[in-house]
Amino acid sequence: MASLFEVWLTGEDEEHLTAVGEAALDEISRIERLFSFFDPASEVSRINREAADRPVKVDVEMFGVLSDCLRRRGETGGYFDITIQSDGNIEDVVLDATARTVHFMSANVEVNLGGYGKGYALDAAGGVIREQAVASALLHGGTSSILAVGAQDDGTPWKIGLRDPYDESQSVGSVDLVDAGFSTSGVFHASQAESDIMNPQQRQRLTEQAACAVIAPTALDAEVWSTAFLAMGESQARGALLQRNASPLRVAWLSQDDGRTRITWLNEEIGQ
Amino acid sequence: MTYKPSNRREFLAGASGAALAAAAAGAAESQPPVRVAVVGTGARGSDLIRNLSTIESAEIVAVCDDYEPHLLHGHKFAGAQAKAFDNYSKMLKEMKPQAVVVATPLYLHHPMCLEAIDAGCHVFCEKTMCYSIDEARELADVVKKRGAVFQVGLQRRANAIYKQAQAMVQAGYLGRITAINCQWHRNNNWRRPVPVKRGEPKWSALEHRLNWRLYWDYSQGLMTELASHQMDIVNWLLGTPPKCVIGAGGIDYWRDGREVFDNIWCTYEYEVAPPKSNAVAGRTLDEENRYTVRVAYSSIQSNAYQGASELIMGDRGTLFFTQQKGLFYRELGVEDPGWSKDGRLDRDATIVTSGKTLKMSNDPWAHRGKPLEIDITGDDTREELLAFLDCVQREDPATISDAQNGLANTATVLIGNEATHSRQVTPFPTL
């Protein structure tokens, strides 16, 4: 993850809010320590180091996360894939629920929770905040993933401005969030020839400039789906959304038309 | 210089090879897992539970806490096979665990460790070992008499960075250690959220339970909660506990009803006999040439500029540690230690460039040269638990931080508090 996380809390008791804010940030650090791809002390590093040699026993939380990642891979038609940055294949990641182990069937495979961790950490921190009876909060990770807890203290929704991905000095609108997650993914910026995001079907980096924003019930849903939709491309994303009848996701596509940036809410287009 | 690592890579391999061999020996015996119970399932306890749950040589049979939200949290990490208890004595009696992990507030360490040992258990006790030196003395005594396997959770002893640093000090890389600075600086109120508002009837009891670190009845403040880790490293590297300490501290920033100091500054004096390997040509360094090393320790809660770090200063080199990274810098101006000029390709990792080059450099840190970086290889909490379980399986009382070390560590940090309270030079007690 290695992103900047920030937390806004509203309420009256500053001492309590400060303690809650620290607890929320502690929760994010805890998850970052477990999920980091680069920190040799993380659980993900331990798994990547050892799981090709033998089944690696993992904790309840990590097993849940890996299971969820495999489930979401199916749900997104393969467009969310935690092994995509490695030379291996996700079929080589074998989970055993009884022994609570993960085993790699190939030495080439590695898992990377980079496209998952920010959303997961925001939701977990949001849980800490709600547990401590703070009703109004906004959290973000690297400004690309956001979680709104409740609304603002005056009852109005949290308002999030969207930066124009084609002209970073401009805003192209805003979204309102109440108890919702939000995430943007993009193939950018202008000087960048290809994205960090890969198309798992073609195993290639995305090259066509586009951006996708998703509002979802949780920050994790938003993060996973914004990445998956972007990898699919606009028309396939529209199709996937159609298939998911009455989906709680709201999906915006940002593209350029005659030099002007256009936001298309795919849900509206398909009458959802 | 008696120890001559032929190159950096071999040296690194040598340091970690021993640990690998030990781990392999433990696994080869393929004993049944150790039946472990954990008492105290707050933040630290839950992290210990989580780590234990990833270790094949441990089976978490029970978790215990008398604060229900914490118990539920810890139980979730322990897994369904573990039984949850709100009563410690009942848990010991009913589950008869082989080993108990104690992660309760400091004031409970002594009674809970004694009860576990009395029930025939081996014990892993979080740092600091005891609330008072008298308690620590008694506990160390009982551990010895009963032959229990006992380990204090001073996990830097299991951290690859500190293990290699210790080897480097032994090998003379730093020359003679002359001064040490340790600090744990943070910029927050060190408070955990309390689920009811200040002033409500239940607030006081919950505040004391959850923010026990802030009150003298349960805690010894920054010295036991933070300094204990770093002062353990100091005692380890210098090979001895301190002689005496002076201290100053107070509550100067967080005047929120807390009792323990929110900033403390201690200066320790150590009397050190130089290891033979440090002998330098033209200088006799033996028992008669014992010298004093001063160690400055500070912990504050209103500025986090340098975080938690330790700076070990020797006349030939410097070690700078954080828990994630160790850096070694050579000093200029001392005689050529030989190993730096053996024509190895990787010598730039350990040698400072020549004086001429340095004069031309515009790098403000150039006098320190390019540091040798020492990296962690795994999570030190997991490593310390692996080491403990290995000792339990072999019934070997020589843990990486046994009760005697726990006693010395307790006394080291508590004389810092004592000196701060009394404003007197406070000697290290006879243990």
pLDDT in tens, A118-159: 999 999 999 999 999 999 999 999 888 999 999 999 999 999
Q: Are residues B322 and B334 both part of a single domain?
A: yes
Does the structure show a pLDDT above 90 at A53?
yes
CATH code of residue B357:
3.30.360.10
DSSP 3-state of A162: strand
Considering only the beta carbons, identify the residue of A40, A58, A133 that sits closest to B377. A40
Tell me which chain A residue has its CA closest to the CA of residue B380. A41
Tell me which chain B residue has its CA closest to the CA of residue A17. B193
Stretch A21-38: mean pLDDT: 95
What is the full DSSP assignment across A33-66? HHH-SS-TTSHHHHHHHHTTTS-EE--HHHHHHH
pLDDT tens per residue across span A156-172 = 999 998 888 877 778 88
> Taking CB atoms and an 8 Å limit, are A15 and B191 in contact across chains?
yes
- Give B162 to chain A, closest Cα distance, Å: 14
> Taking CB atoms and an 8 Å limit, are A59 and B77 in contact across chains?
yes
Tell me which chain B residue has its CA closest to the CA of residue A27. B43
Q: Which long-range contacts (CB under 8 A, 24 or more apart) does B10-17 make?
A: B11/B167, B12/B164, B14/B167, B15/B160, B15/B163, B15/B164, B15/B167, B16/B160, B16/B164, B16/B377
Identify whether B109 is preceded by a cis peptide bond (ω within 30 of 0): no
Q: Which of A14, A20, A22, A98 to mutate to test the interface with B (most CBs of B within 10 A)?
A: A22
**Number of CB atoms found within 10 A of residue B336's CB:** 9
Count CA atoms closer than 13 A to B160's CA, side-chain side.
22
Q: Are residues B48 and B182 both part of a single domain?
A: no
Q: Are residues B147 and B281 both part of a single domain?
A: no
B148 in Cβ contact with B173 (< 8 Å): no
> Taking CB atoms and an 8 Å limit, are A18 and B191 in contact across chains?
yes
Considering only the beta carbons, identify the residue of A19, A30, A41 that sits closest to B193. A19
pLDDT tens per residue across span A246-265 = 678 999 998 888 888 888 99
pLDDT tens per residue across span A194-222 = 666 667 777 677 666 788 999 999 999 99
For residue B171, being part of any structural domain is answered with yes
pLDDT tens per residue across span B101-110 = 999 999 999 9
Q: Are residues B69 and B190 both part of a single domain?
A: no
CA dihedral A125→A126→A129→A134, nearest 10 degrees, is: 160
For residue B1, being part of any structural domain is answered with no
Q: Are residues B396 and B323 both part of a single domain?
A: no
Q: Are residues B129 and B236 both part of a single domain?
A: no
- Give B322 to chain A, closest Cα distance, Å: 14
Q: What are phi and psi of B97, to 5 degrees?
A: -70, 155
For residue B316, being part of any structural domain is answered with yes
Residues of chain B with pLDDT under 50: 1-28, 278, 281-282, 334-366
> Taking CB atoms and an 8 Å limit, are A18 and B76 in contact across chains?
no
- Give B159 to chain A, closest Cα distance, Å: 10
- Give B233 to chain A, closest Cα distance, Å: 20
> Taking CB atoms and an 8 Å limit, are A40 and B198 in contact across chains?
no
> Taking CB atoms and an 8 Å limit, are B188 and A42 in contact across chains?
no
Tell me which chain A residue has its CA closest to the CA of residue B60. A59
Tell me which chain B residue has its CA closest to the CA of residue A55. B56
- Number of domains comprising chain B: 2
The residue written with tokens 């298939």 in the block is A243
- Closest to B66 measured CA to CA, from B108, B95, B100: B108
Q: Are residues B65 and B89 both part of a single domain?
A: yes
Chain A CB contacts of B56 below 8 Å? 57
Q: Which of A9, A12, A14, A16 to mutate to test the interface with B (most CBs of B within 10 A)?
A: A16
- Closest to A97 measured CA to CA, from A75, A78, A77, A70: A70
Q: Are residues B232 and B283 both part of a single domain?
A: yes
- Give A86 to chain B, closest Cα distance, Å: 21
Chain A CB contacts of B43 below 8 Å? 26
Task: Tell me the CA end-to-end span of chain A in Å, nearest whole number.
Answer: 33
For residue B2, being part of any structural domain is answered with no
CATH code of residue B101:
3.40.50.720
Pinpoint the alpha helices (H) of A36-160. 43-50, 60-75, 117-131
> Taking CB atoms and an 8 Å limit, are A41 and B380 in contact across chains?
yes
CB pairs under 8 A between A and B: 71
Report how far residue B53's alpha carbon sits from residue A28's, in angstroms, rounded to the nearest whole number.
21
Buried b (16+ CB within 10 A) or exposed e, B34-64: bbbbbbbbbbebbbbbbbbbbbbbbbbbbbb
**Number of CB atoms found within 10 A of residue B374's CB:** 21
Q: Are residues B417 and B373 both part of a single domain?
A: yes
Chain A CB contacts of B54 below 8 Å? 43, 46, 56-59, 62
Output the six-digit token pair for A132.
Answer: 């401590």
Tell me which chain A residue has its CA closest to the CA of residue B207. A16
Chain A CB contacts of B77 below 8 Å? 59-61
pLDDT score recorded for residue B10: 37
pLDDT score recorded for residue B289: 80
Considering only the beta carbons, identify the residue of A26, A41, A133 that sits closest to B378. A41
Chain B CB contacts of A16 below 8 Å? 193-194, 197-198
For residue B123, being part of any structural domain is answered with yes
- ipTM, interface predicted TM-score of the complex: 0.90
- Give A248 to chain B, closest Cα distance, Å: 29
Q: Are residues B149 and B254 both part of a single domain?
A: no
> Taking CB atoms and an 8 Å limit, are A19 and B191 in contact across chains?
yes
Report how far residue B405's alpha carbon sits from residue B414's, in angstroms, rounded to the nearest whole number.
14
Q: Are residues B78 and B29 both part of a single domain?
A: yes
Chain B CB contacts of A132 below 8 Å? 193, 195
Tell me which chain A residue has its CA closest to the CA of residue B382. A41
pLDDT score recorded for residue A165: 80
Structural domain range at position B311: 158-378+409-427
Tell me which chain B residue has its CA closest to the CA of residue A133. B195
> Taking CB atoms and an 8 Å limit, are B54 and A43 in contact across chains?
yes
Tell me which chain A residue has its CA closest to the CA of residue B210. A19
Q: Are residues B176 and B266 both part of a single domain?
A: yes
Q: Which of A15, A17, A101 to mutate to test the interface with B (most CBs of B within 10 A)?
A: A15
For residue B3, being part of any structural domain is answered with no
Tell me which chain A residue has its CA closest to the CA of residue B50. A59
Q: Which of B20, B54, B162 to mutate to test the interface with A (most CBs of A within 10 A)?
A: B54
pLDDT score recorded for residue A233: 87
pLDDT tens per residue across span A225-246 = 999 999 888 888 988 888 876 6
List residues of A whose CB lies inside 8 A of any B CB: 13, 15-16, 18-20, 22-23, 26, 30, 33, 39-43, 46, 56-62, 100, 131-133
